[in-house]
Amino acid sequence: MYQIESSRPQGYLRDNAKGTAQKGVYLRTLAAMPVDLPPLAEQERIVEKIETLFAEIDKGEEALRAVRKLLARYRQSVLKAAVTGALTADWRAANGQPAETGQDLLTRILKHRRVTWQGRGRYVEPVEPDTRDLPELPDGWVWASLAQLTHIKGGVTVDKKHEPNDPVTLPYLRVANVQNGYLDLTEIKDITVERDRAEQCRLKPGDILMNEGGDRDKLGRGWVWSGELDPCIHQNHVFRARPVLTELNSRFISYYANAFGQPFFMTKGKQSVNLASISLTAISGLPIPLPPIDEQNELVARIEEVIDQIVHGTEACSMELARSAALRQSILRQAFAGKLVPQDPADEPAADLLARIRASQAAAPKRARTKVLA
């Protein structure tokens, strides 16, 4: 078993695998795989030594995985401290009463929405958050809804059957691009849509992106667009929430939605056979804690300082785990090169062992071949 897990047999299996969607190895190919055969007593010494060394490696890997779990829990605890105000309790004590409280800020945001509104018909106030069962906030903070703080918009629909009258082809973000706390831009696809629709969905730095569909536990995940690609638009399964005031800290809102919006998304989301989704109306009511602007910026600075440390720690654990995997392969290479344990001239020669195996196979009764009916 250990020999098959080592690099040379694994290379043989990879080189001889057949198939397109899912590769496999034919039984006859597997049977022809070369195997090193040491004396039986040496096999036992090799296995004992491998398992002694692997047991030590296992302890180290277990400790590294435990550290990664602790780092993940630490990240969550820091985010919780941030959105409940505990992380900046000392900052509030040092800076005193803010010139503009969270309630004052919310009032200014709502006034700005009304003054700048250019829609059709009568202006409608955005939905207020349902604050039942929500934790109490620090003095100077207030609960607001995502709809109160941002302008929320769905994206373009991928419709290959429809030919645009005034087409434009642009890169666009899909659900796969919008991850929890980061954007994966390794593969950006293009889409051809109506020019005016593309302009409506064009992303701007500071836009908060949230997934509308996918697995149920992925609803609402997202991050902030920083203008990495311009122009760029977003598809209909990705919501765009653009802050009403540019000084609002988009990252603070996104950190909160990723870390503590999950119960809301799970409750408000709808499940079909293979896909979960949440409507624009439903996501508009997402409650967001709103501190004063200066405290938002301080919170994000503190969060990201800790996250940088956690990322470095996690990367260090991953590097050590990779080294551990390489060490296992090094041990296996030494084992099957005859360098891991001493050889004993008194051992039965491997040639004699192989002769006994062949004799046993020759003496075994032949199995009758059975015909399998389709």
Residues 278-328 pLDDT 10s: 888 888 999 999 999 999 999 999 999 999 999 999 999 999 999 999 999
Instruction: Report yes or no on 222 lying in a domain.
Output: yes
Kindly state whether residues 250 and 106 are assigned to the same domain. yes
Kindly state whether residues 259 and 112 are assigned to the same domain. yes
Residue 339: per-residue pLDDT:
93
Residue 366: per-residue pLDDT:
78
DSSP label at 235? B
Tally of structural domains, the chain: 3
Kindly state whether residues 82 and 156 are assigned to the same domain. no
Sole residue written with tokens 């996250």: 307
Residue 353 pLDDT more than 60? yes
pLDDT digits (tens, 9 = 90+) for 147-180: 999 999 988 887 767 777 888 899 999 989 999 8
Residue 18 pLDDT more than 80? yes
Instruction: Report yes or no on 363 lying in a domain.
Output: no
Pairing of strands 233-234, 167-173: parallel
Instruction: Report yes or no on 89 lying in a domain.
Output: yes
Residue 276: per-residue pLDDT:
76
pLDDT digits (tens, 9 = 90+) for 39-65: 999 999 999 999 999 999 999 999 999
Structural domain range at position 247 = 102-117+125-289
Of 214 and 10, the structure prediction assigns the larger pLDDT to 10
H-type alpha helices, 84-151:
89-95, 102-116, 146-149
Distance CA 179, CA 209 (A): 9
Distance CA 14, CA 7 (A): 10
What CATH number should be reported for the domain holding residue 209? 3.90.220.20
Kindly state whether residues 17 and 133 are assigned to the same domain. no
Instruction: Report yes or no on 255 lying in a domain.
Output: yes
pLDDT band at 26 (very low <50, low <70, confident <90, very high): very high
Kindly state whether residues 277 and 299 are assigned to the same domain. no
Q: Are 243 and 254 in contact (CB under 8 A)?
A: no
Kindly state whether residues 248 and 159 are assigned to the same domain. yes
Instruction: Report yes or no on 352 lying in a domain.
Output: no
Kindly state whether residues 50 and 109 are assigned to the same domain. no
Share of the chain above pLDDT 70, in %: 97
Kindly state whether residues 281 and 297 are assigned to the same domain. no
pLDDT band at 374 (very low <50, low <70, confident <90, very high): very low
Which residues in 186-292 belong to E strands, given as ranges? 189-194, 208-211, 213-214, 222-224, 233-234, 238-243, 270-271, 276-277, 287-290
Instruction: Report yes or no on 371 lying in a domain.
Output: no
Instruction: Report yes or no on 351 lying in a domain.
Output: no
Kindly state whether residues 252 and 333 are assigned to the same domain. no
Residue 373 pLDDT more than 60? no
Kindly state whether residues 72 and 171 are assigned to the same domain. no
Taking all residues of the chain, what is their mean pLDDT, rounded to a whole number?
90
In sequence order, what DSSP letters do the residues of 6-25 get, joined into one string? SHHHHHHHHHT-B-SSS-B-
pLDDT digits (tens, 9 = 90+) for 129-145: 998 888 899 999 999 99
Q: Which residues contact 147 (CB under 8 A, 6 or more apart)?
A: 126, 127, 284, 285
Of 198 and 267, the structure prediction assigns the larger pLDDT to 198
Kindly state whether residues 93 and 106 are assigned to the same domain. no
Residue 370: per-residue pLDDT:
60
Kindly state whether residues 108 and 187 are assigned to the same domain. yes
Instruction: Report yes or no on 360 lying in a domain.
Output: no
